[in-house]
Structure 1
């Protein structure tokens, strides 16, 4: 198969912009990883007009997909975890071309999963967890149980991913299989939500109580990154927080995350007078340094 596809990628290996070429073949028990294609060609480039460029090919009775992605896009996916198949692709791939050991170093970094990288990813998962928990609880209190159920399922998923990352592993598509081995108590919460014979209202009530405890127990891990960043200045305006480069990946979850940290007494509000009578600027500063 590699010989057949060589004509597709060989020209690109001579271009200085190409960092690596990887081949991912469909396996019987993991066909979903290649999106039903027989083979994926993953080409990583330094720069390109489009961050993602895809082409499909047929050869005989088989089909192939070529994905050309920029280094910036690759790093974004790895940081945000927004393309989870990428981890399987990198893990299962055969390296066809590797400029200056770029791919070898990338795989080594993924395998070792440096603590700083884990700290950011734990922060992102924790912020999504808080968002789902807060929104779900609000819906529960409005007796919108099916909508609350949807949020609770997602919150447990983020809790599971957080536990996996905490243990130095990358969350895979089979995250529940991973977390069952690592933190079975989280897996048990999920089972109770899905399989319990209690009414939906009762299941949600019990899950919110248990989740609140679990979330609180993870707060020092989940908040470490954002508090590290906020410790760089004594007082922050919200616009500065929202536009701080290191915090941009938190996106729309940032304000609700900040509110949760205030509630948990890790961040405090600093009111500053404005020209308007009775109106104060609401600024923020860290109360407690975690590390």
Structure 2
């Protein structure tokens, strides 16, 4: 397949804006990692009209996909972890064009995994974990067990990804095989929820009891990023927090995360009187020792 794709990637490689080209070939008979395609051409460019541009090809027997991705989009995916298969592609693909060693340096950087990048990822995963966990608990208390189960499963996935990040590695598509080796207690919790013969309400009840400590013990690490950002100013309005460049990535999880940290006395609230008697603005701050 590579031979037949050569003309396509050579044309792209000749363009000045192209930083690197990688070929990812199917490793199994059915390969969701390559979206079931026999081959993926991943082309990274300095700039492009659209952040992601895709084309599909076939030679009559096999099929291939080409994805042209801007450097900015690629780094956003890697920062936020919103495209999990991209890490698999970078680690398992083969570089076939590399301008100024861009691809090679990127992969080395990913493997070394600088701590600054890990902190924001941990914050994002922890914020998502808190939202799913609290929503699941509320649904459980309302006896909506199936809906609670779905939220709890999602919260455990975020807890698993957080545990992998704590170990200094990027979470992969096969995150549970990573967690089984790194954090067997979390894996056991997941296994008991999914495989137990107990009734669903009993499984959920046991999970809420068991997971409380695992979540609470990770608060300091999960909150580190937002605390460092908030430490840059004496106090913040909620709008200022939403507009802060890095905190924008928390999106709809930001406010529930802040309220959780207020409850844990990690973030503090100051009331500032409004023009209406008895009504106060809420300003948020962290103490310098945080």
Instruction: Give the TM-score, by structure 1 length.
Output: 0.97
Q: Which residue of 1 aligns with 2:25?
A: 25
Q: Which residue of 2 aligns with 1:95?
A: 95
- 1:17-74 CA distance string (max 9 Å, x none): 1110000111126722111111100000111111111101112411111000111110
CA–CA distance in structure 2, aligned partners of residues 44 and 144 of structure 1: 46
CA–CA distance in structure 2, aligned partners of residues 213 and 138 of structure 1: 18
Q: Which residue of 1 aligns with 2:34?
A: 34
Aligned residue for 1:265, secondary structure, equals coil
Deviation at 1:201, TM superposition (A): 1.4
CA–CA distance in structure 2, aligned partners of residues 149 and 170 of structure 1: 26
Q: Which residue of 1 aligns with 2:266?
A: 266
Alignment of 1:80-119 (within 5 A): 80-119=80-119
Deviation at 1:287, TM superposition (A): 3.3
CA–CA distance in structure 2, aligned partners of residues 117 and 272 of structure 1: 35
1:3 aligns with 2:3: yes
2:38·2:64 contact (CA, 8 Å) conserved in 1? yes
CA–CA distance in structure 1, aligned partners of residues 289 and 118 of structure 2: 19
Q: Which residue of 2 aligns with 1:137?
A: 137
Aligned residue for 1:28, secondary structure, equals coil
How many residues end up aligned between the 2 structures? 290
Deviation at 1:178, TM superposition (A): 0.6
User: Any gaps of 5 or more consecutive residues in structure 2?
Assistant: none
User: Any gaps of 5 or more consecutive residues in structure 1?
Assistant: none
1:237·1:282 contact (CA, 8 Å) conserved in 2? yes
Q: Which residue of 2 aligns with 1:162?
A: 162
Deviation at 1:252, TM superposition (A): 0.3
CA–CA distance in structure 2, aligned partners of residues 267 and 134 of structure 1: 18
2:41·2:65 contact (CA, 8 Å) conserved in 1? yes
Aligned residue for 1:223, secondary structure, equals helix
After superposition, the Cα gap between the structure-2 partners of 1:288 and 1:205, relative to the gap in structure 1 and judged at 3 Å, is farther
CA–CA distance in structure 2, aligned partners of residues 263 and 121 of structure 1: 22
Deviation at 1:9, TM superposition (A): 1.4
Instruction: Give the TM-score, by structure 2 length.
Output: 0.97
Q: Which residue of 2 aligns with 1:197?
A: 197
Misfit runs of 4+, over 4 Å: none
Q: Which residue of 2 aligns with 1:221?
A: 221
2:231·2:288 contact (CA, 8 Å) conserved in 1? no
1:129·1:159 contact (CA, 8 Å) conserved in 2? yes
Q: Which residue of 2 aligns with 1:127?
A: 127
RMSD between superposed Cα atoms in Å: 1.2
Aligned residue for 2:97, secondary structure, equals strand
